[in-house]
Structures are given as structure tokens and as C-alpha cells.
Amino acid sequence: MHRLIISLSIIFLLAGCGGVKEDKPLVFAVGGAPSEINFWEALIDEFSTEYQIDVSIVRQPTDTDQRRQGLVVSLKARDDDPDVFLMDVAWLAQIAASGWLAPLNTELDSIETEAFFENILDLADRYDGQLMAMPVYVDGGVLYYRNDLLENIGISRPPQTWKELIEFSLRVQAVERENNPDFYGFVWQGAQYEGLICNFLEFAVSNEGGFIFEGDSLRLNIPENVEALQLMHDIIHEYKISPPNTYTEFKEEEVRLFFQNGNALFERNWPYAWTLHQSSGSPVADKIGIDVLPHFEGGESISTLGGWHIGISAYSDMKEEARRFVEYVSSYETQKKLALNLGWNPGRRDVYDDQEVLEKLPHFADLKTVFENAHPRPTRPYYSQMSSILQKHLNSAVAGEVSPENALQSAQAEIQDIIGRYR
């Protein structure tokens, strides 16, 4: 009888533990502005009602680095929460290479991918041949331009090459400075931070350069990259079509405000700026266009890929429920809602053809082409260390403190040391 009581107690205890697990919510980690979190909560309510799966949100900081650090701490500790989370595209390689993501496609179940930008899936979301994440919000560098000022000098289109951008800038700048001495032709992100790497990548790859990996060796100090970095320097110091404080102060918001206040002809920025430029009271509202970035002669326009992707923790104890949530977030209906309510650029191509979306966000018609030519930063697990080195040396060259060739040579040597240590 004593043994029977003990056995029954164990059975009931195990049953009770199973009940606790059954009632445990799916934990979703996401950060962003309060309006974004509020909308995620509304989406989660819809998901929970439809699938009968409770979801709890872990609110992460708005700051991107703090969000990454918070996730890394949990994943290193092999915590079973969060089950599912959003990742900046720049983190994907590190998190996937560390074995912290559960593959999304299995022998029994595959997530639909045909409607998504295939280049983005291949370059960012697949690791070692496996699909590890899905794009939720995609981003890319674009060129904003003042179509009214171009028309004033008889130009009816944006520049196709960097040479044309310089030519158009000099012509318009000369006219506008008669009344506005603070007017410049082109504003872009040149301060020492991640945005500078994004700009450099767009110049370099449009010159058939970029980050060239050959096995465990990085070729960075190549003529195409030297020419691209030299042009970034010359745009400020020789042609003087960009403000002299470009390399000390100009990040996304400094660039946006400068252009939006009517002080520039061209602006390199992300798509988020469109709605702000067109807002009520904006000096440039209804005077702007958006297009792909220019390229070198013989090259092709490219856009640095940004954005947020969703993945499942390898340590989640609710992987089946997490897959349902990933499928829900990746669906046409959800990505359309994110576009209409938050202005997010969907990871799905088909949403860019939706008439309701185009009526509210007409610039989406141009963004589809931009994202088809999006190019990621190096998808290496040591990219965060790589980024710190690149920011320092690229900024020194743009500032004119060292030559582009010396800057790239030093950066290549320091990054090669990191590759060796990582290997």
C-alpha cells in the first residue's frame, strides 16, 4: 500500500507538471517604439483567438544593441524563453552560427517562401543550407530627390550614376545658394557608426567591389573599394556637395532633418523617411521622389539590406506553437497589416502589389525594385567585431586623416586577425 501511494503521488505530480507546461504561454521578445509594441499586442490577441495559443510579450529596449545583448544572454544560458524573437539582419549570422536557432523547415513541415524576396532569403535567412529565419520588415538604402529643383535646371529624372549625382548637385547648389547659403547637393550618413558601413557598401558594390571573402581570407583593400572610398571623401572635400560635418555628425535623423528642411537636393536614407517628408507642414512635401541609389559607370545600383527577421530559439520548449506564430507573422494578411498600420516594408513581394497598400503608401511601387537589389553586410558570426574596426578606419578616410588605401589596408589586417582567432 505504501508503494502504491508513492507511485500514485509521482503520477499525479508528473500530471501536474504537464498541466503547468500546457498552460505556459509562448514568449515573444520584441522591441521598438510604444506604437509598435501596442500594435504587436493587437496582432497577438488575434493570433491567440484564432489558434488558441496564449502569447506573452517580453518588451525589449528600443536600442538595437541592447536588444541584441538581451537575446544573447538568454540564448547563451540556454533558457527556454523567449521562444521566438525578432532579430536585426546584421545579427543573423552570429545567432545561427552559434546554434541558437531552430531550423524552420523540417521533413514534415515547410514554411511557404515563394512570395518572399528570394535574394533576401538566400543571402540573409539561410545558413548552411537551412532556412533559419523569415523576413518581417525589410529595409534598404534609397535615394530621395527634389524633383522640383531638378526640373528648374531642365532635368526630368534622378541621377543614374554617381558622376551624374555630382553634376546635378553642383548645378542646383549654385542656383540655390543665391538665397540659401547653407544648401548642399547631397546628404548621407558619414559619422562613425554602423550607417557609415551601409553607405560604403553601396558605393563599393556599385563599383563591383565590396567585402570579398576567399575562404578564410578577406580582400578589402582592392582598387574598386579604394576608388569608392576616395569618392566618398571627395564628395565632401573636393566637390563640396556634402556638409563638412558629414563625417562627425550625420546619422539618419541628422540627414533626414537637413533634407526635410529644404537644404539639400539629394538624400541617402532608409524608407522610413518618406512618410515624414510627406507629412503635413513638411517643407518638401509633394516635392520629392524616391529611387534606387546611383552607381559607378559600368556598375549596378545596390541597396544595403536592413530590417528585422523572426526566428525560433533552439532551446524553446514550444517549438510547434512557435512555428504557428512565425507562419502567422509571415502571412500575407499580417504583413499587409504591418504595412498599413506601421508603415513597415514587408518581407513578401506580393504585398507591394496590393492596391490598398499602394493607395496609402504609393512609394512601395518603387521600393519593390530596391529590395530586389538589396545586398547584406557580411554574413559572418564575427561581424560585430568587424563592424567596430570598419567604422573607425572608414571614418578616418572620409575625414581625410588617412588615405583610402591605408585605411582599407589597416582594416583588412585587423579583421584578418579576428578571423584567425575565431577560426
Query: What pLDDT is stored for residue 143 in this prediction?
Result: 98
Asked if 326 contacts 125 with a C-beta cutoff of 8 angstroms, the reply is no
Is pTM beyond 0.85? Reply is yes
**Helical H segments across 206-260, by residue range:** 223-237, 246-249, 252-260
Query: What pLDDT is stored for residue 3 in this prediction?
Result: 53
Pairwise CA distance, residues 223 & 241, whole Å: 24
Asked if 375 contacts 346 with a C-beta cutoff of 8 angstroms, the reply is no
Q: What is the mean pLDDT of residues 409-415?
A: 97
User: What pairs with residue 28 in β-bridges?
Assistant: 57, 84
Phi, psi of 52, deg, nearest 5: 60, 40
Give the start-to-end residue ranges of the domains of the chain.
25-140+305-375, 142-304+378-422
Asked if 404 contacts 397 with a C-beta cutoff of 8 angstroms, the reply is yes
Q: What is the mean pLDDT of residues 142-165?
A: 97
Read off the pLDDT of residues 365-397 as tens digits, 9 standing for 90 and up. Answer: 999 989 998 999 998 889 989 999 999 999 999
Q: What is the dihedral of CA 196, 197, 199, 201, to 10 degrees?
A: 160
Read off the pLDDT of residues 10-47 as tens digits, 9 standing for 90 and up. Answer: 444 444 444 434 579 999 999 988 999 999 999 999 99
Read off the pLDDT of residues 103-144 as tens digits, 9 standing for 90 and up. Answer: 998 766 678 899 999 999 998 999 988 999 999 999 999 999
β-strand pairing of 130-131 with 126-127: antiparallel
Q: What is the DSSP letter of 378?
A: P
Q: Which fold has domain 25-140+305-375?
A: D-Maltodextrin-Binding Protein; domain 2 (3.40.190)
Ranges assigned E (strand) in 60-167: 84-88, 126-127, 130-131, 134-140, 142-146
Q: Quick one: CATH architecture of 142-304+378-422?
A: 3-Layer(aba) Sandwich (3.40)
Q: How many CB atoms lie within 10 A of CB 236?
A: 22
Query: Comparing 25-140+305-375 with 142-304+378-422, is the CATH topology the same?
Result: yes
**Cell of residue 263, nine digits:** 537644404
Query: What pLDDT is stored for residue 18 in this prediction?
Result: 42
**Helical H segments across 103-186, by residue range:** 118-120, 147-152, 162-176
Pairwise CA distance, residues 403 & 229, whole Å: 9
Res. 5: pLDDT tops 60: no
Read off the pLDDT of residues 38-82 as tens digits, 9 standing for 90 and up. Answer: 999 999 999 999 999 999 999 999 888 899 999 999 999 999 999
